Amino acid sequence: MVISVGAIVHTYLLFPWMMKVLSRGKSLAVPAKEEMKQWPKVTVLMAVYNEEAIIKEKLDSLDKVDYPIDKWRIYIGSDASDDRTNSIVSQWGQGKEYVHFKVFEKRHGKVKIINQLVSEAVSKQPAGPKHIFLLTDASVMLDPEVVRTLVRHFRDEKVALVDTHMINLGSSHKDISASEEQYISREVLIKHREGLLGGVMMGPFGGCFALRSDYFTPVPDTFRVDDFYVAMQALKRGGKLISDLDAKVYEAIPHDIMEEYRRKRRISSGNFQNLTQFSSMLVQPPLWRAFVFFSHKVLRWMGPLIMLIGVLSLSVLALKKGGYYSIIWWIALLGTLGVSLADIGLSKRHIHLKYFRLIRYFIMMNIALLEGFIEYLKGIKTNVWQPPKRKAEYGDEAQYHSRSDS
């Protein structure tokens, strides 16, 4: 029981505190954007599927990116979209020689789409240190300065990947969005500090990041968390992975707890694919990289199993010895399951308590992690995805810019 509690405390409290203390006073050493004499070629890579509700806002944000047009290419692959996505992208791309749009007639999944877009891109512009990939999702809106902010880091030949600062919009305490925003904001800082401490950031958020093209490794067809796979391959090859808090992008926060539950479950199954793939990095030098991988990711992924072991150990102690252990058992039960059930009941009466919602969110997401682990054990045969239900998250352009500037 003590080991279980210690492991959970380490990954969620002690490790983030260590990152904060050790990175204090450190900052990314990069040239100012105005000091850049030559900008590298940048290729945007984006897979889409049925994104008619938000794809126009995404394309508009790409139009507003401030980057030399002669060094700018956009590759978009539609994974057999059957809504208005294809017509919107086609119309937008007319007359733009730097836009390459490919429609796939049957579903392939994001991984296959990205792998094929990369092959097409490097056939036109070979992979190399002066060719940068910008991998992004349809739901993530780009700040006009984000590309220049990202690519300036690649003057350091050791930098392989630079992540953006994901800023969530539209959170509310009436649902799980405020809890999700807290989690993401905390993760942004942890990853940024990992980058400061040796360039060992444990994967980007995936919505938008820059990768030196010669560090791209094709992702296995059935892998579900492709961004982490690409990042860890780059890290394994000795590249530095960092996050720049000045590189801002925006995404609407999820509000539906069951939608987020399904997403977390899917990610969890993909996490264990990556754990199998990169388990050797836990015992290989450098030791600091192994420590960060274990502390930030492995313990998180194994969290539900660790908690189950802790609960079973505590239950046995409570039954056999009673007394102090029984009191702890009841406190644990009421503080987790009891609070979660209370939050469900209170929310139906439009009463929203911040810490009750946070505990319920934590429990639900760890159950999703456990389900994802079970799904992984059963075997994953496809990574074809169904995006969450979208709506026009950002409204008109004026509304988007007023929100992103805040």
pLDDT in tens, 102-120: 999 999 999 999 999 999 9
Sequence-distant (≥ 6) Cβ neighbours of residue 10 within 8 angstroms: 295, 299
d(CA 293, CA 298): 6
- The residue that leads in pLDDT, 393 or 165, is 165
Residue 352 in any domain: the answer is no
Are residues 130 and 41 in contact, defined by beta-carbon separation less than 8 angstroms? yes
Closest listed residue to residue 132, CA positions, set 212, 226, 20, 202: 212
Sheet holding 208-212, edge to edge: 99-104, 72-79, 41-48, 131-136, 208-212, 159-169, 240-252, 141-142
Give pLDDT tens digits for 156-205.
999 999 999 999 887 556 656 677 778 888 999 999 999 999 999 999 99
Domain contains 154:
yes
H-type alpha helices, 15-137: 15-22, 55-63, 85-93, 110-124
One-letter amino acid for residue 350 of the chain? H
Residue 262 in this model has a pLDDT that exceeds 90: no
CATH of the domain at 255: 3.90.550.10
Residue matched to tokens 């015992």 = 283
The overall average pLDDT reported for the chain is 88
Is it the case that residue 393 has pLDDT exceeding 60? no
Domain extent at residue 60: 8-297
CA 185 to CA 368: how far, in whole Å?
A: 20
Query: Which residues 6+ apart lie within 8 Å of 366 measured at CB?
Result: 303, 304, 307
Question: 354 in a domain, yes or no?
Answer: no
Read off the DSSP letter of residue 353: -
Q: Is residue 372 part of a domain?
A: no
348 in a structural domain: no
pLDDT computed for residue 177 by the predictor: 67
How far does CA 237 lie from the centroid of its chain?
21
> Could you give the number of structural domains in the chain?
1
pTM above 0.95, yes or no: no
299-343: pLDDT as tens digits: 999 999 999 888 888 788 888 888 887 888 888 888 888 888 887
Q: Domain for residue 22, yes or no? A: yes
